[in-house]
Amino acid sequence: MISQELIYLCISSFAVVTIITLFYRRREIEKRYPFMTGMLIIGTLILALAPGNSARWMVEVDTWYPGFDELSLEVKFFMVLFGFTRRPFLI
């Protein structure tokens, strides 16, 4: 399941990489790029650190993956790996 937090994290990461790339290539960085990136990072932090996320996460894990807490890291990794390859375009 793709959540808003994950989408904002990806967009924020892309914005940071874009600014670093422009800086590395010594290109002119418009003033709005760092401002927009800062706003994206602030929005990501607000979404990720919201107090209801941990409660929602526990309910979703119990609903969709009962017994997920007892699984080893290796089993969780293979669940994710083979879950995405089994149905790659269903989100």
- Give me the residue spans of the domains in the chain: 1-50, 52-91
State the maximum Cα–Cα separation within the chain, in Å, rounded to a whole number. 52
pLDDT tier at 84 (50, 70, 90 boundaries)?
Answer: low
Burial 68-81 (b: 16+ CB within 10 A, else e): eeeeeeeeeeeeee
Higher pLDDT, 21 or 77: 21
pLDDT digits (tens, 9 = 90+) for 29-67: 888 888 999 999 998 888 888 888 777 877 877 787 777
End-to-end CA distance of the chain: 7
Please, are residues 44 and 12 in contact by the beta-carbon 8 Å criterion? yes
Rounded to two decimals, what is the model's pTM? 0.58
Please, are residues 48 and 5 in contact by the beta-carbon 8 Å criterion? yes
